[in-house]
Amino acid sequence: MPKLNSESPLRTLMETFHRTGKLEWIGLRPARRAPLQSFNHAEVIADHGLAGDHKASRAGGKRQVTLIQREHLDVVAQLLGRDAVDPALLRRNLVVSGINLLALHDERFRVGGVLFEGTGLCEPCSRMEEVLGVGGYNAMRGHGGIIARVLDSGVIHVGDAVVYEKIPA
């Protein structure tokens, strides 16, 4: 999508959020295919990802951190006929609530004091069928969240605010 002029009425709408979001959950995978482990805080390393997550060992790339919308977990659970879905099953690092993640997928945003840049959508993979059962892949379609690159180092905590950050002109 082409970048909109900062004076554009549509750009103004895209930069307006009803409220800040909240970091609800942090998960790290120490090794590929290992189960996610839940933490109350995590060190975030610029251009790498979350310390202790197997993906953080490589610099660069667009998929340093994965995020999913807390409200979408309820939708996925309903589509699967469940009461709830454990975020650890979904292979996403961060669960946020209260702010539309899809609106941040090509934008900069802060979780606590750490700056991220949304780099794309986090589409479901075939593992969703394995961990969620029959129909898991389709239940996740449109609800997989976003991927992001880390621009600043720092520490994030469950409960931190998630806030849109206007890109300087």
Q: Please give the CATH topology (third level) of the domain spanning 19-162.
A: M1 Pyruvate Kinase; Domain 3 (2.40.33)
What pLDDT was estimated at residue 9?
Answer: 75
H helix count then E strand count, the chain: 4, 11
What pLDDT was estimated at residue 17?
Answer: 62
What pLDDT was estimated at residue 5?
Answer: 61
CA 121, CA 5: separation in Å to the nearest integer?
23
Are 15 and 169 spatial neighbours (Cβ–Cβ below 8 Å)?
A: no
Measure CA of the first residue to CA of the last residue in the chain; give whole Å: 17
The whole-number average pLDDT for the span 125-144 is 93
What pLDDT was estimated at residue 162?
Answer: 97
Question: Three-state SS across 60-117?
Answer: CCCCCEEEEEHHHHHHHHHHCCCCCCCHHHHCCCEEEECCCHHHHCCCEEEECCEEEE
The whole-number average pLDDT for the span 91-116 is 94
3-state secondary structure of 136: helix
What pLDDT was estimated at residue 13?
Answer: 61
Could you tell me the pTM of the whole model?
0.89
The whole-number average pLDDT for the span 6-10 is 70
What pLDDT was estimated at residue 126?
Answer: 87
pLDDT digits (tens, 9 = 90+) for 57-95: 778 888 899 999 999 999 999 999 999 999 999 989 999
